[in-house]
Amino acid sequence: MLRTSSHGYNVWVAEFGTGNKEIEQIKEQTIAFLSTYGMSRFAPLPYDEQSLPIRELAGYRVKSSTHDEAPILFYTLPTVFKNEIAKTFNTDIFSDALHKLGILKKPANEKGYQSRTPRLKHLGNIQQRAYILMLVPDEEEE
């Protein structure tokens, strides 16, 4: 019986590994969303609604600096983050995991994980609350 149990465990470890599957799922869910919708549902800043209408706006995107290698920052609207990216996960746990993975930027001077967008000229210079996400290269790619 013990031999059968250890064999089953070894097969499971070979298939799934020893890492935290929940963290891996959080990462995969987020990367899949940004890869699928990053250019179609995130408006580039500065944004002109007339020349580039976006259906089902998920947020705004901006290059973090002028360097070619600089990541794109995705200012993700809270409703989209909760309902479409985090889905069934607790939003705080999901946010914390993304922050630890380097995918979510946490504001230094505020509680929680939401920041503010840059000033949105097309909306009268307001700033909206948002989660700041970015795609980071896999360790294997570096």
* DSSP-assigned states of every residue in 54-111: -TT--EEEEESSSSTTPPEEEEE-HHHIIIIIITTS-HHHHHHHHHHHTSEEPPTTSS
pLDDT band for 128, please (50, 70, 90 cuts): very high
Please state the pTM of the whole predicted model.
0.81
pLDDT in tens, 8-25: 666 655 555 555 789 999
Q: What are phi and psi of 137, to 5 degrees?
A: -65, 145
Give the residue-averaged pLDDT of 77-104.
96
pLDDT at 141: 46
pLDDT at 43: 93
